[in-house]
């Protein structure tokens, strides 16, 4: 027991505390040092509750109270998942608002008669509703990496909360606190280059979620003269990008990611470019889920690039379609045939053909699949409302589409064989989408999508959505027979579609 709670016996000096906290997070050996009860036995919980209360009461002054919070942080870091769950449960259950005070305030609010009384009662209610745990959590900010600590604590919390209303209430508080601190007005936009710290670049490699960084030379290629990487940072989490975007300068809108990631491709003079392609946007902090920066990041970068390179007239993404094939597999055959403009027979051949290994390297097959799949994907991107004219839920959209359409972009083009990596094949039959940000229509698009989920489409994409008058055989069934795909296809490969 002593081992685990030894940290609670405090020095008075914040300095020595900071040093200890630093040791704690840097010393590799620390986590190995087994705490006596990493799962938190009941007795431990009582001690912990006492320590939390002491910190809240600011016993010994505010500086000491923060030192106590640091010690609690140390304990937290040493705990097992179960222990952490109990630690957070304690915070959630025992350190909410005082029920009696809050009930009184609620009653007084309900009874308030005049404007003045209501204003006063509302204020009092707000005060009574404040959870003391928020004050406790705030105390971590004075520690080095204290803000990161809270962000990571919320990552833990999100993983364990499920439907538990008590933990969800704690999560609401933590999210609210983080949202206040991580307001976009407090963030710094920084360009990341090959001259940035290696430790920062290493984080990019780790975090990049869209197109995996394969090596340091892949990374260097993404930081070349015809590229830009921008990220938002918070002053209290320096060196930790919150979100970053990768941009390529091109002539014309890029239609595939293979070329963009080709390290041997020649470097374009950015002053000769007419287009900026946003080909990867990554949120890095799970603990900031629900706090949005992407919209701001894109618009700030569009502004900055527009000012630096007047020759750039087109701002567009080259985006994955992560939900396409999952959606397609759920569609019944009739709907597939209808949307793809195929006869039934061919429509039935679609799924098995997509299970043919490396079909994208078979020119005949790829050509035959091209139009039906593009039509289907257009249908998917445009969302259910495009067909029915009815208003739909945002959750019915592809998540990437939802993000860009919500920002006011329009669907510019669908790109066949845009991403032939295993992931691209698996998610979207290699199709990628360009979402275009055109300054003259961003607000209007945003408003319409926000109000009715009406999607802005380019003429080319609209054309893909037009119903085919009379469907003729496209030969897919025949191709399937020729390819004789493995009669007992690898079930996992199929499932992975």
> CA-CA distance, 309 to 99, in Å (whole number)?
59
Count Cα neighbours of 125 within 13 Å in the Cβ-side half-sphere. 15
- Shortest reach from residue 493's CB to its own copies, in Å: 33
- Shortest reach from residue 292's CB to its own copies, in Å: 8
- Shortest reach from residue 244's CB to its own copies, in Å: 15
- Closer residue to its own copies, CB minimum distance, 194 or 327: 194
Q: Which residues are catalytic?
A: 319, 404
Burial 189-215 (b: 16+ CB within 10 A, else e): ebebeeebeeebbebbeebbebbebee
Cα of 139 vs its chain's centroid, Å: 27
- Closer residue to its own copies, CB minimum distance, 195 or 332: 195
- Closer residue to its own copies, CB minimum distance, 59 or 329: 59
- Closer residue to its own copies, CB minimum distance, 244 or 380: 244
- Closer residue to its own copies, CB minimum distance, 93 or 289: 93
In degrees, rounded to 5, the angle at the alpha carbon of residue 262 between the alpha carbons of residues 256 and 267 is 100
CA nearest to 316, candidates 386, 249, 397: 249
CA nearest to 316, candidates 430, 411, 192, 179: 411
- Closer residue to its own copies, CB minimum distance, 41 or 169: 169
For residue 170 the two structure tokens come to 């704690």
Answer yes or no: are the C-beta atoms of 318 and 260 closer than 8 Å. yes
- Shortest reach from residue 25's CB to its own copies, in Å: 12
For the chain, the first-to-last Cα distance in angstroms comes to: 52
Burial 437-458 (b: 16+ CB within 10 A, else e): bbeeebeebbebbeeebbbbbe
- Closer residue to its own copies, CB minimum distance, 269 or 332: 269
- Shortest reach from residue 268's CB to its own copies, in Å: 10
Entry field: residues in the chain: 497
Query: Under 8 Å CB-to-CB from 361, ≥6 apart: which residues?
Result: none
3-state DSSP assignment of residue 331: coil
> How many angstroms separate the Cα of 127 from the Cα of each of 97, 98, 131, 394?
9, 11, 9, 35
- Shortest reach from residue 185's CB to its own copies, in Å: 3
> CA-CA distance, 320 to 93, in Å (whole number)?
42
CA nearest to 241, candidates 275, 274, 270, 206: 206
- Shortest reach from residue 101's CB to its own copies, in Å: 12
């Amino acid at each position: 027991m002593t081992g685990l709670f030894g940290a609670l016996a405090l020095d008075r000096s914040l300095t020595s505390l900071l040093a200890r906290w630093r040791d704690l997070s840097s010393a590799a050996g620390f986590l190995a040092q087994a705490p006596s009860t990493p799962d938190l036995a009941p007795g431990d919980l009582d001690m912990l509750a006492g320590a939390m209360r002491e910190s809240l009461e600011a016993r010994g002054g505010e500086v000491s109270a923060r030192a106590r919070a640091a010690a609690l942080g140390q304990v937290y870091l040493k705990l097992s998942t179960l222990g952490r769950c109990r630690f957070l449960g304690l915070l959630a259950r025992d350190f909410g608002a005082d029920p009696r005070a809050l009930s009184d305030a609620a009653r007084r609010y309900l009874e308030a008669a005049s404007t003045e009384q209501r204003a006063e009662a509302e204020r009092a209610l707000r005060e009574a509703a404040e959870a003391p745990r928020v004050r406790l959590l705030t105390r971590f900010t004075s520690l080095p990496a204290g803000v990161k600590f809270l962000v990571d604590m919320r990552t833990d919390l999100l993983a364990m909360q499920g439907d538990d209303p008590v933990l969800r209430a704690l999560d609401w508080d933590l999210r609210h606190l983080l949202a206040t601190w991580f307001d976009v007005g407090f963030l710094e936009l920084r360009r990341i280059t090959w001259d940035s710290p290696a430790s920062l670049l290493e984080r990019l490699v780790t975090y990049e979620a869209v197109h995996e960084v394969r090596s340091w030379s892949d990374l260097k290629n993404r930081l070349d003269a015809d590229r830009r990487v921008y990220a938002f940072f918070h002053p209290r989490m320096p060196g930790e990008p919150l979100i970053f975007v990768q941009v390529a300068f091109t002539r014309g809108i890029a239609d595939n990611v293979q070329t963009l990631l080709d390290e041997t491709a020649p470097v374009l003079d950015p002053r000769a470019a007419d287009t900026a392609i946003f080909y990867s946007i990554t949120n890095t902090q799970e603990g900031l889920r629900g706090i949005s920066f992407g919209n701001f990041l894109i618009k700030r970068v569009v502004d900055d690039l527009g000012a630096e390179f007047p020759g750039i007239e087109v701002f567009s993404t080259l985006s994955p379609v992560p939900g396409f094939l999952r959606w397609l597999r759920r569609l019944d055959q009739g709907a597939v045939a209808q949307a793809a403009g195929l006869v039934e027979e061919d429509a039935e051949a679609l799924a098995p053909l997509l299970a043919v290994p490396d079909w994208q390297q078979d020119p005949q097959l790829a050509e035959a699949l091209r139009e039906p799949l593009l039509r289907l994907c257009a249908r998917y991107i445009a969302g259910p409302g495009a067909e029915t004219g009815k208003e739909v839920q945002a959750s019915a959209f592809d998540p990437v589409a939802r993000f860009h359409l919500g920002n006011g972009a329009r669907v510019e083009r669908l790109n066949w064989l845009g991403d032939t990596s295993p992931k691209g094949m698996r998610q979207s039959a290699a199709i990628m989408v360009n979402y275009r940000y055109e300054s003259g229509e961003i607000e209007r698009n945003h408003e319409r999508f926000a109000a009715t989920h009406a999607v802005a489409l380019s003429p080319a994409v609209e054309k893909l959505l037009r119903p085919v008058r009379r469907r003729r055989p496209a030969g897919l069934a025949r191709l399937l027979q020729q390819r004789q795909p493995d009669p007992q296809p690898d079930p996992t490969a199929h499932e992975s579609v």
